[in-house]
């Protein structure tokens, strides 16, 4: 995908699942959401490489060490009638921040979106993550303040699914 000096980006492979899972746990701590994590390496392997993969991932390697990942999937725009690329999570390990790896990962994802003829590339960002917001807006991303995320999980999802 992309190689710069001692940093390279490539599609995730099954042998990367343990690294990605570890970074998901680090991300949860960073976002103060570790209590929500139920992901296991087996579940992640199934989602990425099972019979019906639900998502994809790219990883960034610096000097032989996996230091960042991005997990993404395709969605679809009814207005554009084209698929889009949706970034679920991008994480750079704390000790490796400030080297431009996050920007390089975003560029690689944007290139992938164009290669796949996606109509858009989207993601969410926590409102308190000012460093990420600065990065994204500096790269040309538009924040959409009029849009709100709606989410139903667990018992609420079970209730919503009941007829009548």
Active site positions, annotated? 136
Question: How is residue 151 annotated by DSSP?
Answer: -
Distance, CA of 50 to CA of 121 (rounded, Å): 25
Distance, CA of 94 to CA of 20 (rounded, Å): 14
Helix residue ranges, H only, 35-149: 41-49, 101-115, 130-138
- Which 3 state secondary structure label does DSSP give 37? coil
Question: How is residue 34 annotated by DSSP?
Answer: G
Distance, CA of 12 to CA of 8 (rounded, Å): 12
With contact defined as beta carbons under 8 Å apart, do 102 and 62 qualify? no
């Amino acid at each position: 995908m992309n190689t710069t000096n001692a940093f390279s980006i490539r599609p995730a492979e099954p042998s990367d699942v343990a690294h990605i899972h570890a970074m998901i746990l680090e991300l949860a701590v960073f976002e103060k959401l570790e209590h929500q994590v139920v992901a296991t390496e087996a579940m992640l392997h199934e989602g990425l490489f099972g019979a019906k993969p639900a998502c994809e991932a790219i990883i960034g390697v610096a000097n032989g060490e996996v230091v960042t990942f991005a997990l993404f999937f395709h969605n679809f725009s009814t207005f554009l009638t084209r698929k889009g690329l949706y970034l679920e999570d991008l994480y750079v390990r704390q000790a490796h921040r400030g080297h431009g790896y996050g920007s390089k990962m975003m560029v690689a994802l944007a290139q992938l979106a164009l290669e796949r003829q996606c109509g858009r590339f989207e993601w969410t960002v926590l409102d308190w993550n000012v460093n990420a917001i600065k990065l994204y807006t500096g790269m040309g991303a538009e924040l959409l303040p009029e849009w709100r995320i709606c989410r139903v999980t667990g018992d609420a999802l079970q209730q919503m699914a009941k007829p009548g």
